[in-house]
Structure 1
Amino acid sequence: MAVREAGSLWRGDAEGADRLLRELRARWRSASLAAGWRFPSDWGLPEVDEVCLSVVSGADPTTALDGLGRARARSGAGLDETLTDLAALHAVLEGTTGRRAAVDATPAPLLRAVALAWADAAMGEFGAVAATENLTGLATPEYLRVRLGEVYRAGRRSGTAPADTHVLIVVTVDLSRTAGWPRLMAMALVGDVLREVFDGGESLAVLGPSVAAVLAERGRGLAERAARTRALIAERFEVDSALRVLRRPELRVERLPCSEDAAQAMVDGLGRA
């Protein structure tokens, strides 16, 4: 099977292994985008690197694929998109990337591992809408959706437009220049800064692998706190040598739309941007 054959590429030296990992990751990403992955910025997850490592070293990829399936579900990727991504990896390993990645051509054990993990994570998120994301300590996107619903219901009762009372502050970190542990550390630092600056009852949530958001009330000092957030994140990235390559985070204030449905759609879009 192609996944096991890739293990013959392993050379046992750190430099060779690192090169093989980068090459496999780049080829997989290109094949996945060509197969229809919709949001290039959210493709790269730490679990992708784990899968690449298992392939290059010749290890059984089942555990790594289980982690990838769960991570894809948590990040908002649909099952069809997740399985097509897996098919892209299989096409790379089989040397058939000249043709469209075919899910039906992917070995059943790999499909089963990813599909079951994706479904398990998706159902778990559905049943725990108020959960906290472990890495950042911020709330999940599902919890933010619940809070948005409460804001819109309160607005309807009081006759006030949520756009006049609340804003969504969105922090986006460009993680394209790093991989593995530094990616995790970057978002953990973002979570720390948000909790430090917005400590007055605001709703803090992680929306995607490189996106976090704050649902805050409009008021004096909001612009200053937003600017402080951006400066603190950049400052903490500079302290860590592995994170100095990152660009300054993008921070913007999003006006809430008129309808709750539009607000929920906006959260979905921000998480996949």
Structure 2
Amino acid sequence: MSVRATDSRWNRGDANGTDRKVLRARWRTASLAAGWRFPNDWGLPEVDEVCATVVADGEVLAALADLGRARARSGADLDETLTDLAALHAVVTNPAERGGLVAADPDATPAQLLRAMALAWADATLGDLRDSAATETLTGLATEEYLQVRIGELYRHGRRNDVHPADRYVLLVVTLDLSNVAGWPRLMAMILVGDALRSVFDGGETLAVLGPSVAVVLAERDAALPGRVREARALIARQLGVDPQLHTARRVDVRLERLPCGEAAARSLVRAVGRA
């Protein structure tokens, strides 16, 4: 199997897809024999896509890239993913009628196939890392690092267009009193705050969590802002009031911080707010 699935023995697919089923079964057996750790996790829709492409003698690189991304998202490591690819290559290049167990040899896999699979796997993996770096897992709000990036973008845009971010944006700061709250209720409080802020500020504002009890919104200073601030304060209090364990956390401090003149000072403000 090179860039195209050229072995004529795999070009006969009948209307019932029998050859695809045979290919899939042999591939799975070879992959398990080569060390695939969790048999129940091997079968993915992308596996069937690859089999159909091979049987139809189609361009297999795109199908392998899809499978590489799917393997990464399912938790398979790169070595396991490439060994699985080697198992497919061994099966395709060793027809069923020869009999016996087919051995996967990653060193025999064509470089183009390895590259397509490895790049797709890496792209999906790095994409997950980028997402996790930009978003705090628990609340779904942006991290402080991402907010700092947005702050930098605003100030660079302001310098280029001769406008000042302080004239157009404000930092809405929400601080909870969680001194008497511990364990899961403490985490739930911030989840509820994030949910309330997303509900009120749903127009593309940057929402971030800056600490275990502090969330912020980078919002435009427009005529609707005062009403949104009141709505956010009321909704947060209402959300927290559902849980008796969060009674003390209902004392919510919601305030507006005007952005300072300089970018460095704005970055310092974000750090200070998160450590208050």
TM-score, normalisation: structure 1: 0.52
* Aligned-partner Cα distance in 2 for 1:233–1:247: 8
**Residue identity in the other structure for 2:191:** A
Decide which of 209, 212, 222 is 2:215's aligned counterpart.
212
Deviations 1:200-249, CA, capped at 9 Å, x for gaps: 00000000110000001111110110111111111111111111232421
Match of 2:167 in 1: 164
Deviation of 1:128 (Å): 6.8
Deviation of 1:164 (Å): 0.2
* Aligned-partner Cα distance in 1 for 2:198–2:208: 10
User: Given the superposition, is the C-alpha separation of residues 270 and 165 from structure 1 closer, same or farther in structure 2, using an over 3 Å criterion?
Assistant: same
Match of 1:244 in 2: 247
Match of 2:261 in 1: 258
Matched, 1:145 2:179: no
State whether residues 230 and 248 of structure 1, in contact with CA within 8 Å, keep that contact through their aligned partners in structure 2: no
| Greater relative CO, 1 or 2 (CA 8 Å, sep 6+) | 1
State whether residues 129 and 143 of structure 1, in contact with CA within 8 Å, keep that contact through their aligned partners in structure 2: no
Aligned length: 148
Match of 1:86 in 2: none
* Aligned-partner Cα distance in 2 for 1:211–1:196: 17
State whether residues 163 and 255 of structure 1, in contact with CA within 8 Å, keep that contact through their aligned partners in structure 2: yes
* Aligned-partner Cα distance in 2 for 1:202–1:129: 19
State whether residues 174 and 210 of structure 1, in contact with CA within 8 Å, keep that contact through their aligned partners in structure 2: yes
Matched, 1:201 2:204: yes
RMSD: 1.6
User: Given the superposition, is the C-alpha separation of residues 129 and 159 from structure 1 closer, same or farther in structure 2, using an over 3 Å criterion?
Assistant: farther
Look up the SS of the partner of 1:205 in the other structure. Answer: strand
User: Given the superposition, is the C-alpha separation of residues 153 and 129 from structure 1 closer, same or farther in structure 2, using an over 3 Å criterion?
Assistant: farther
Deviations 1:188-208, CA, capped at 9 Å, x for gaps: 000000100000000000001
Look up the SS of the partner of 1:251 in the other structure. Answer: strand
Match of 1:176 in 2: 179
Look up the SS of the partner of 1:246 in the other structure. Answer: helix
TM-score, normalisation: structure 2: 0.52
**Residue identity in the other structure for 2:136:** E
* Aligned-partner Cα distance in 2 for 1:129–1:265: 23
